[in-house]
Structure 1
């Protein structure tokens, strides 16, 4: 049973309130209504450097905000990752965040001699929530949701996180107020069930 949830707000704009923020807020409201413990990581408000070498990636960071994010992920039973689709995948800031946070020794380690990953985040589940300008079915069926699949398979599952569920919110600019309210209600219900 999920009891502790960490929501990762991956929208890179911290100056404006976007629909990604409203979706995350609705999920958090639902989770708290069900007495789940919730922590929020707002990637846009964090300050961390880009990784530029293998050496940077393989050695622990001294950035306090990254250590706090790692602790929030370690603490959680369930992760909720919310972001807008940019050029078919997650915004660069969110990718840079994952590169900083999901390092060897925290998220996985390689085993010898096969160098297969030893997964350190097993026992956690995740939900990925993505907003986009195109209809969601086009992204899913024509583009095979390639950016989301990369996050699912090559990042989260690689570290042992499963099951991973997705919510794709398409045609975001043309959604009516009633359609937006329906999505917010759906997110609140997901929060109430911890899914």
Structure 2
């Protein structure tokens, strides 16, 4: 069954040689091979203003520069988010983007005396994270707290579930066969639309 997939490339560096870009490309290629419809969102190319007040978060519209990204996410059946681990969590650019598009009226709706309604329910997500440390150390020693906060505090809060993780460690020293294995895995995940 064909799916609508929003692929968010979250590495802040626009350098085309970044592994995150190659991973997003491989996922996209696999998804298209399988007949899925993909929408690419490259955060390094977007103007993403910072939100500074609760009033702006709750009342201002999503900036025009991010309206296509917002529309791709709300139309998607599945969201893929690819980024490098920086200081134990997502880069600031990814957080700024999520604050802009995961706002009231788009991703959730306040309800009087109830928990917010999850406007993105029915969607799933894959979070792909590259890191310099071993992925197992990040999970076990550090508890993957940054990813847990993303999953529970943002994605599940707006109704996106299940959320699956792909953690790739020791990327700076990875040789070509290892990189090829990662890219093949992403292409396969893209084909499956998961």
TM-score range normalised by the length of the shorter chain: over 0.9
2:40 counterpart of 1:40: yes
Shift of 1:66: 1.6
Q: Which residue of 1 aligns with 2:147?
A: 148
Q: Which residue of 2 aligns with 1:91?
A: 91
Alpha-carbon contact 2:3-2:77 (below 8 Å) kept:
yes
Write out per-residue CA displacement over residues 89-143 of structure 1, whole angstroms, 9 at most, x where no aligned residue: 00001100000010001100121124x1110000100000000000000001111
Q: Which residue of 1 aligns with 2:20?
A: 20
Where do 5+ consecutive residues of structure 1 fail to align?
none
Where do 5+ consecutive residues of structure 2 fail to align?
none
2-structure distance, mates of 1:2, 1:103: 28
Q: Which residue of 1 aligns with 2:193?
A: 194
Measured at CA, do residues 90 and 62 of structure 1 come closer, stay the same or move farther in structure 2, by a change above 3 Å? closer
Aligned pairs for 1:151-170 (under 5 A) are 151-170=150-169
With structure 2 as the length reference, what TM-score do the two structures score?
0.97
Cα RMSD (Å): 1.1
Shift of 1:59: 1.5
Give the length in aligned residue pairs.
194
2-structure distance, mates of 1:137, 1:34: 31
Q: Which residue of 2 aligns with 1:60?
A: 60
1-structure distance, mates of 2:157, 2:192: 25
Shift of 1:62: 5.5
Alpha-carbon contact 2:48-2:93 (below 8 Å) kept:
no
Partner SS for 1:158: coil
Q: Which residue of 1 aligns with 2:78?
A: 78
1-structure distance, mates of 2:142, 2:48: 32
Measured at CA, do residues 42 and 180 of structure 1 come closer, stay the same or move farther in structure 2, by a change above 3 Å? same
Alpha-carbon contact 2:2-2:35 (below 8 Å) kept:
no
2-structure distance, mates of 1:102, 1:168: 23
Alpha-carbon contact 1:23-1:187 (below 8 Å) kept:
yes
